[in-house]
Structure 1
Amino acid sequence: MKNIKMLLAIVMLSSFATAKNDFKSYNDMCEKLETQECPNNTAEIKNLQIALNADKNLKLNLKTDGKWGENTKKAVIAFQKQYHISPAEGYVGVKTKTVLNKVAKNVKLPTIKIVKKGKTSSGKCYADFRRNTNLRKSFKVFKDNKLLAKANGRNTKLKVDVSEQRLRLYVNNKVALDSPCTTGAKRKFEPNTKIYRDKHTPTGTYKIREKIANKRSTIFGDLYRNGKKIYHGDRRKYRGSWKGVKYVGASLKNWMRLTSSGIGLHASKYVKRYPGTNGCIRLPYHVAKTVFKKVKNGTKVSIVN
């Protein structure tokens, strides 16, 4: 009996240690200025660097300092290309972490304590959140779970503040959620045309006209020929031959349309603290998912500056 208990204890401890080194349990990693979901946990990045160095196919010699920088990003892109992970942009998301687990299964990594950064503030009043948060710069999200539980679509409304780059979900006229968002840029550079265009998000009062959980853009995306990307951007401005070309629209998960011209709210990993979209309103994935559930077609959306 004692031997059985001891064996079970060893198995449990082994499983616990493995879970701690499971890349899928790590925070997503990317450049901080490019996305809201960028905790840059030093221990996690150090283990990422160790795993990348251990890949014999890449022959890297990364400095394992736990700092996210250009060299680490380039190494991640090389890793993604090596294992055909698309898009190969250096963003360490679910797909990349899944492959990392397979590649580094025999690599001994230091056990770390997983700490999720960018926690939502719940249980505190909204006045405290506003008082203690730099709304223009912070990636923090406020949630009042009790209020959110009362949301039924009929008692909700949204407000997008362009000056603060924040979205607020109101339930019974009280703030139930306050999140960073990214609106349209006044001067947006188009790499294909080399022209700066005004893409600002129009202010005014709108209503949600359409909700699609898994939508892809019919305008913005990538063009491929024989599996190779040949163009990125507005498909209407592509001037090359369309023969043998395949179009893949950009993902607009949890899409909520506001205008007939294509302005809407949707999830994105690229949520910045300054305007930078083509007019749409980007939201962090977990925020877009919550908002999508709590609103309905006809919900009022105010865009102010």
Structure 2
Amino acid sequence: MIRTLFVIFLGLSALHAGYFSKHNDMCDGNEYYQCENNYNAVRNLQIALNSDKKLGAKLKVDGKWGDHTKEALISFQEKYGLAKADGWVGKQTKQKLDSVYKKVTFPKDIKVAQHYKGKRCYSCYSDFRKHVNLKKSYEVFEDKRLLKRANGRNTKLKVDVSEQRVRLYVDGKVALCSPCTTGAKNKFEPNTKIYRDKRTPKGTFKITEKIADKRSTIFGEYYRGKKMVYKGDKRKFSGSKKGLRYQGASLKNWMRLTSSGIGLHASKYIKRYPGTNGCIRLPYKVSQTIFKSVRPGTQVSIVN
């Protein structure tokens, strides 16, 4: 009897979990995020998002993860106020998908052989520009021969706000071209409920500081014991700080540009539109490459 009830309980738990919660995360399948996206889960995600007329997704239901699916998912995350609108189908997003689309009927899962394409090789940067939509793609161009010659004295960086791309030049030639995320025109502050202009300043700067494992002195979290009581700009925290512990946000491979706290650093939240508080986010591996290729004094141009 007890065993029977236990089996029933497990069955009800699985049913309650919903479709998406029973699958692994879905995300970018590139050299930075190794996600083995399930064909059935992606297909049903596309069906679910298409069913939401207010999103206007109009996705091709092919079970393939791509930029259009990711952009539609970001719209979903923003619409339902999820903490991270980053196009990553993690635990919280899967739970919300199951809640919102619980009445959507999905076709039965089928067995599909998964084929993952390797990184395409481009003969040169001009070839990369010709075949890649720089404003939308997450692809990264690297000229490994040029990168080996980088010594800090022969490098410079250019950040293009209109393309949301960073380029590393070695001896005047593009050695690396990667997506990045710059400051938002209107950044919503959850704590103050105010939209503020956080655009990354344009102009020519120099790297003034390099720290491999930096913690922010401005943005972070306040804890009382193990419980987080505040997250965001600590200068806008109005409560009592007595008994609280501050933990600054991680800024791996930090490269400072201004005295006001603007710089380049690693982040897994790379979007194809401006979305930061002013800093320039880089994919982690890209930040490693740039960090070891530049030095204090390296020129950084921020253009539009």
TM class by smaller structure: 0.5 to 0.7
2:162 paired residue number: 163
Supply the distance in 2 between the matched residues of 1:251 and 1:159 (Cα, whole angstroms).
24
Supply the distance in 1 between the matched residues of 2:64 and 2:132 (Cα, whole angstroms).
27
Supply the distance in 1 between the matched residues of 2:218 and 2:234 (Cα, whole angstroms).
6
Q: CA RMSD in A?
A: 3.0
2:258 paired residue number: 259
Supply the distance in 2 between the matched residues of 1:129 and 1:31 (Cα, whole angstroms).
23
1:210 paired residue number: 209
1:41 paired residue number: 37
Q: Deviations over 1:114-134 (max 9, x none)?
A: 8477x3x54521111001000
Supply the distance in 1 between the matched residues of 2:247 and 2:164 (Cα, whole angstroms).
29
Supply the distance in 2 between the matched residues of 1:167 and 1:175 (Cα, whole angstroms).
10
CA contact (8 A) 1:122 1:145 kept: no
1:278 paired residue number: 277
2:184 paired with 1:188:
no
CA contact (8 A) 1:29 1:37 kept: no
2:6 paired residue number: none
Alignment-mate amino acid for residue 125 of structure 1: C
The TM-score normalised by the length of structure 1 is: 0.66
Q: 1:159 to 1:45 in 2, by over 3 A?
A: same
Q: Which aligned segments of 4 or more residues in structure 1 are displaced greater than 6 angstroms?
A: 43-46, 65-70
Any unmatched runs of 5+ in structure 2?
Answer: 1-23, 43-62, 78-89, 94-110
The TM-score normalised by the length of structure 2 is: 0.66
2:142 paired residue number: 143
Q: 1:227 to 1:271 in 2, by over 3 A?
A: same
Q: 1:195 to 1:137 in 2, by over 3 A?
A: same
1:17 paired residue number: none
CA contact (8 A) 2:122 2:128 kept: no
Supply the distance in 2 between the matched residues of 1:122 and 1:172 (Cα, whole angstroms).
22
Q: Deviations over 1:212-254 (max 9, x none)?
A: 0000100101111121011110011111111211111100000
Q: 1:283 to 1:276 in 2, by over 3 A?
A: same
Superposed, which structure 2 residues align to 1:1-305 within 5 Å?
A: 29=25, 37=33, 39=35, 41-42=37-38, 90=91, 115=116, 119=119, 121-305=120-304
Q: Match of 2:151, SS?
A: coil
Q: Match of 2:223, SS?
A: strand
Give the deviation of 1:41 after TM superposition. 1.8
Q: Report percent identity of matched pairs.
A: 63
Aligned residues: 221
Q: Match of 2:285, SS?
A: helix
Alignment-mate amino acid for residue 42 of structure 1: N
Any unmatched runs of 5+ in structure 1?
Answer: 1-27, 47-64, 74-88, 93-109
CA contact (8 A) 2:26 2:37 kept: no
